[in-house]
Amino acid sequence: MCIDCGCTPDHQHQHDHETTRKIRVEESLLAKNDRLAAANRTLFNAAGLLTLNLVSSPGSGKTTLLEKTLTDLKERFCFAVLEGDQQTANDADRIAATGVAVHQINTGAGCHLDAHMVGHGVEQFDLDATDILMIENVGNLVCPASFDLGEDLKVAVLSTTEGEDKPVKYPQMFRAAGLMIINKTDLLPYLDFDMEKCRAYALQVNPNLTILELSCRSGAGLEAWYRWLETAQIKKQQLNAARS
Ligand SMILES: Nc1nc2c(ncn2[C@@H]2O[C@H](COP(=O)(O)OP(=O)(O)O)[C@@H](O)[C@H]2O)c(=O)[nH]1
Ligand SMILES: [Mg+2]
């Protein structure tokens, strides 16, 4: 007997029923996350923050990019960093070495940060004294695409060692992002990574994507990223001023 509708289920009905329940649970999970993300966004806007959510597969260079950026721009902006990883405080330790405020969130078995974790994570910071909040998500090109954290923008970091086809293999992530950073360009002479194909694939899934190429190792392209960041922060300030 089916507990929801009282009928005697045949095999197909049972399958349909399980699928319906799975979709309902996912919907309510995401709806709850969206509500908490909206609350985070209200809090971040009230504090005048620019908030970026760095997403990528593991090892693309998110923490290295943050280390460089914080070291080079910490006199210009007041940063705070939330680090997401399943285990360890390794990345938080690397960020702490730059002297910037950081808080590590360990998700255990979880494969992404969610808005609830971020809402509690930022309790560690003086948001009113912060200009830019950087969130380094758990390395994963799938789940973080679906979870809004209240950020202004998702920044997808792709490294040249991963291959140029990732934007079409994981389109949800590159559709959700506003900026794609192609990192590790110093390795291009040793790889068969096709930069033009990568750009074309990314724009195929998201024609509005801004794309920057850089190398955290050589420093090539970092200036353009810093200019992008400064412009985004100024635009956010202007938006906040217009809102208040
Ligand atoms: N060759 C090269 N290696 C890089 C570059 N950026 C980061 N790496 C290396 O890539 C590895 C993973 O970097 P990490 O920042 O921990 O990646 P995350 O997992 O995305 O945070 C480390 O060994 C870094 O030194 C780069 O531009 N060029
Ligand atoms: Mg990292």
Please check the confidence at residue 18 and state whether its pLDDT lies above 80: no
Evaluate whether residue 85 is within a structural domain: yes
Evaluate whether residue 55 is within a structural domain: yes
Evaluate whether residue 4 is within a structural domain: no
Evaluate whether residue 6 is within a structural domain: no
Domain harbouring 187, CATH code:
3.40.50.300
Give pTM, 2 decimals: 0.90
Is residue 56 within 6 Å of ligand 1 at its C-beta?
A: yes
pLDDT tens-digit profile of 169-223? 999 999 999 999 999 999 999 999 999 999 999 999 999 999 999 999 999 999 9
* Residue recorded with tokens 């999970």: 29
Count of structural domains, the chain:
1
Q: Which residues pair with residue 182 across a beta bridge?
A: 158, 213
CA–CA distance from 231 to each of 182, 236, 240 (Å)? 19, 9, 14
Evaluate whether residue 1 is within a structural domain: no
**Top mutation candidate among 216, 218, 225 for ligand 1, by most atoms within 8 Å of CB:** 216
* Confidence band, pLDDT 50/70/90 cuts, at residue 57: very high
Evaluate whether residue 59 is within a structural domain: yes
Which atom in ligand 1 lies closest to the alpha carbon of residue 56?
Answer: 20
* Residue recorded with tokens 């399943």: 86
In DSSP notation, 94-161 reads: HHHTTT-EEEEEE-TT-SS--HHHHHHHGGGS-GGG-SEEEEE--S-SSGGGT---S-SEEEEEEEGG
How many A from CA of 99 to the centre of ligand 2?
17
Q: Is 210 helix (H, G, I), strand (E, B) or coil?
A: strand
Is residue 62 within 6 Å of ligand 1 at its C-beta?
A: yes
Closest CA to 156 of 73, 16, 123, 140: 140
Nearest CA to ligand 1 atom 14: 61
pLDDT tens-digit profile of 60-92? 999 999 999 999 999 999 999 999 999 999 999
Evaluate whether residue 145 is within a structural domain: yes
Is residue 230 within 6 Å of ligand 1 at its C-beta?
A: no
Q: Which domain holds residue 222?
A: 11-243
Please check the confidence at residue 56 and state whether its pLDDT lies above 60: yes
